[in-house]
Amino acid sequence: MNLNQIHSVYFIGIGGIGMSALARFFVANGKAVAGYDKTKTDITETLQDLGIEIHFEDSISLIASKFLKPETTLVIYTPAVPKDHKELAYFKEKGFNVLKRSAVLGEITKKTFCLAVAGTHGKTTTTSILGHLLYQCNVNVTAFLGGISENYDSNFISKGTDVTVVEADEFDRSFLTLSPDMACITSMDADHLDIYGEADELKKSFIDFSKKLKPNGKLFVRNGLPIDGITYGIEDDSDYSVQNIKIIDGTYEFDVKTPTQILQNFKFNLPGRHNLSNALIALAMSVEYGIPQQQLATALASYKGVKRRFTYQIKTDELIYVDDYAHHPQEINALHQAVREMYPDKKVLAIFQPHLFSRTRDFADEFARSLSQFDEILLLDIYPARELPISGITSEWLLSKIENPKKKLVQKSELISNIKKSNATVVLTVGAGDIGEEVKHIKKALSSEALL
């Protein structure tokens, strides 16, 4: 595929976080861009503000004529689109160049110096830190993020096209389309078993990914993972290791041990050891790329985070409200560790929306243990995303497995009243579904309550 011959790009599922970053890329490179999505969201509105035409009905008649020319139009779709989608079927029947997002990302990054971030947890935060570090250190970088950066209010960072930073997504084995110059693997915990069937198949795909590096490429792996590479870890004997950690006014201060020296006086504002690990690997890749320490220290200190990744909505002496995307038991454990480290004496209420029937089924016992650690739990119905219901797999069933007696199944309409009944001074909204749409309402209600 020659991107120079493409004049128009049409997206099926344009509102997805990865798809919308690609849409921004093509707009920045002067292409005509339009697309379909099934629902209006904040993301589709921001894309429309860029001049992108978006419609929300699966109808070929709504597609502008300039996107109906096979020789100059590229069609990109997300695997979440159903097989009976009319527009997708039309483009395939008419001989258009129709590609998954991952294949297009592989094509874009092929002729650049590519840094890829893989792992079942931590991809988005690590990618956004790495993109921010390189951008702030004046590298000609384009970064495709799987979340909205607080620094740039976007999932797309661009200062040039010499270097690309991408999330290497294991879902649907998408990351096997990439050929990075540098890559890291943050974690290999079982997930996406609806795709892989069993954990060993997922691990095999990460091994396959590790072999996709370009000649003389560098692979970084979290210490303890069963793949050879440059290791990183926290207060251990890894090649790159965080040392001398202090928490001062809610900010981590630390040093970094590299294979050759000790780099001192780093500051990082995101809570949680998992986020500290994400910062470390971004630093390690930047050091290996050749960025001087002082520039990296300044850049890291200015990093603000990713929306819905331990995002403070309210932060006062009386009340802490944090919103987080955690949707796997290990991510919930990491969130719990971060909250307890920062607020050891406060009562914590966690509001969790399970994501996918299959994931809830596959990890029910682990979810129950993770959620039981909080002082109180409010559980919402399962968010189905791309799935149909599975018999017997419900939030009520999951609730029965949670051993903490301070638990309750609630509907979205009941959320605010139940939060107000709690005497918790730390409130968390947790999950990857549409719980994020409730955040502004909860924040408004709790802010109003604080003013009374």
The 10s digit of each residue's pLDDT in 383-408 is 998 789 999 999 999 999 999 999 99
Q: If pLDDT is split at 50, 70 and 90, which confidence band does 310 have?
A: confident
The 10s digit of each residue's pLDDT in 273-301 is 889 999 999 999 999 999 998 899 999 99
Q: If pLDDT is split at 50, 70 and 90, which confidence band does 199 have?
A: low
Closest-CA residue to 268 (of 257, 259, 255): 255
Longest dimension (CA), the chain: 63
Report d(CA 278, CA 270) in Å as an integer. 10
pLDDT of amino acid 197:
55
pLDDT reading at 190 higher than 50: yes
Burial class (CB in 10 A: 0-12, 13-18, 19+), 146: buried
Per CATH, 3-100 and 311-451 having the same topology is answered no
Q: At what angle do helices 329-342 and 364-372 cross, to 10 degrees?
A: 10
The 10s digit of each residue's pLDDT in 169-187 is 776 777 888 989 999 999 8
User: b/e for 204-236, b at 16 or more Cβ within 10 A?
Assistant: ebbeebbebbeeeebbbbbeebebebbbbbbee
Give the residue, 83 or 161, on which the prediction is more confident. 161
- Residue 254, token pair as written in the block: 């630390």
pLDDT reading at 192 higher than 80: no
Residue 420, SS3? helix
Residue 14 is which amino acid? I
Find the angle CA(116)-CA(120)-CA(123) to the nearest 5 degrees.
40
Q: Does residue 288 contact residue 182 with C-beta atoms inside 8 Å? A: yes
What is the residue-averaged pLDDT of the chain? Answer: 92
Residue 442 is which amino acid? I
pLDDT reading at 91 higher than 90: yes
Give the residue, 132 or 249, on which the prediction is more confident. 132
CATH code for residues 110-301: 3.40.1190.10
pLDDT reading at 260 higher than 80: yes
Strand runs labelled E in 311-410: 311-315, 320-324, 348-352, 376-379, 407-409
Percentage of the chain surpassing pLDDT 90? 75
Residue 113 is which amino acid? F
To the question of pTM greater than 0.85 for the whole model, the response is no
Q: Does residue 70 contact residue 3 with C-beta atoms inside 8 Å? A: no
Report d(CA 380, CA 430) in Å as an integer. 10
The DSSP element (H or E) to which 399 belongs, if any, is helix 395-401
pLDDT reading at 78 higher than 80: yes
Residue 73, SS3? strand
Q: If pLDDT is split at 50, 70 and 90, which confidence band does 445 have?
A: very high
- Tell me phi and psi for residue 372, to 5 degrees: -65, -15
Mean pLDDT of 4-28: 93
pLDDT of amino acid 35:
97
CATH code for residues 3-100: 3.40.50.720
- Residue 303, token pair as written in the block: 């990093």
Q: Does residue 221 contact residue 212 with C-beta atoms inside 8 Å? A: no
In the chain, domain spans:
3-100, 110-301, 311-451
CB atoms within 10 A of CB 136: 19
Report d(CA 353, CA 41) in Å as an integer. 19
> Which CATH code of 3.30.70.20, 3.30.70.260, 3.90.190.20, 3.30.420.10 fits the domain covering 311-451?
3.90.190.20
pLDDT reading at 132 higher than 90: yes
